[in-house]
Amino acid sequence: MRAIVVDRWMEPGELSVREAPEPEVRPGCLVVEVEAAGCNFFDILLVGGRYQVKPPFPFVPGAEVAGIVREVGPEVEGFDVGDRVFAAIPVGAFAERALVPAGIAHRIPEGMSFAEAAAFPIVYPTSYAGLVLRARLAAGETLLVNAAAGGVGIAAVQIGAALGARVLATAGGADKCEVARRAGAEVAIDYRSEDFVARVLEETGGRGADVIYESVGGDVFDQSMKCIAWNGRLLVIGFAGGRIPEVRANRILLKNISVVGLHWGAYASREPERIPEIFDALFKLYAQGKIAPVIFETYPLEKVPEALLALGSRETYGKLIVTP
């Protein structure tokens, strides 16, 4: 089969399509014909050997997969050949076929395209678990989403609006601000041309945001501490900006705030019972038309290097999808 194969650490531009062995069905697993695969920033780190997980060579990158079940392994219940499914897998999505553990596979909801399904399994549960389980966002509160035009950012804006929060968003440039507004942000702030701290305080009458969804780190995290409300919750999702920030404990004390983290990937081993609960809630929101993945562009398998380079440039928004 055709696949992107990594046999040494390399940059995205060096990736190419090669022949790879067909995945062999195993107990508890499905072989899925890949119709769409999602791109993530960590894919760039993974192929370059800069991610915390380093698969043995050779491997096929890609963690979000959507497609049609072609083989059902022994000990699998609830799935049949021909089912439309999606999943977040460790590696293997940038290929014509992929091996998917049945325990982490989900049926694609009615009306959802393969491209949307491939954009769903990481960013939406991450944002939902962060806002609902960790930050306890309530209707009527003010939510600030930083980097609101990215994959997790758009998901957070949509979910926040669906939960009845007033959503403020920061993004880089007029186009990305418009993307955030279309996703449900009442106010979109271009951090390239405006002091977002001053604007958030202005929009909240000096009070600040009750919940801040923070996936950037660095200076953005530091500034966010200046516009959080009394009893606010600063939700730490990641550090896309590179620098891991530090918090002076007196800031936590003076504003009576909480700094809470979200490690969605760890729920599978620590709180697996939460996973179906979260996906059920997300599927209901999708069926109600309150959330829907935003696709920036789709790329054929041969253009995975181009897709990852575009993602790394930070000039894209939403999700980039590969269609093998």
Q: Where are the alpha helices (DSSP H) in the chain?
A: 41-47, 114-118, 123-128, 151-162, 174-183, 196-203, 218-224, 249-254, 267-270, 274-287, 304-312
pLDDT at 240: 84
How many Å apart are CA 35 and CA 238, to the nearest integer? 29
pLDDT at 242: 80
Q: Look up the CATH superfamily of 2-120+293-323.
A: Medium-chain alcohol dehydrogenases, catalytic domain (3.90.180.10)
Beta bridge mates, 33: 68, 97
Give the residue extent of every domain in the chain. Answer: 2-120+293-323, 123-265
Report, at the CATH architecture level, how domain 123-265 is classified.
3-Layer(aba) Sandwich (3.40)
> What's at 263, amino acid-wise?
H
- Whole-model pTM: value is 0.95
Q: What is the pLDDT along the chain (324 residues), one digit of tens a residue?
A: 999 999 999 999 999 999 999 999 999 999 999 999 999 999 999 999 999 899 999 999 999 999 999 999 999 999 999 999 999 999 999 999 999 999 999 999 999 999 999 999 999 999 999 999 999 999 999 999 999 999 999 999 999 999 999 999 999 999 999 999 999 999 999 999 999 999 999 999 999 999 999 999 999 999 999 999 999 999 999 998 889 999 999 999 999 999 999 999 999 999 999 999 999 999 999 999 999 999 999 999 999 999 999 999 988 999 999 999
Q: Residues for the chain: how many in total?
A: 324
Q: Which of 39, 51, 49, 66 is nearest to 311 (CA)?
A: 39
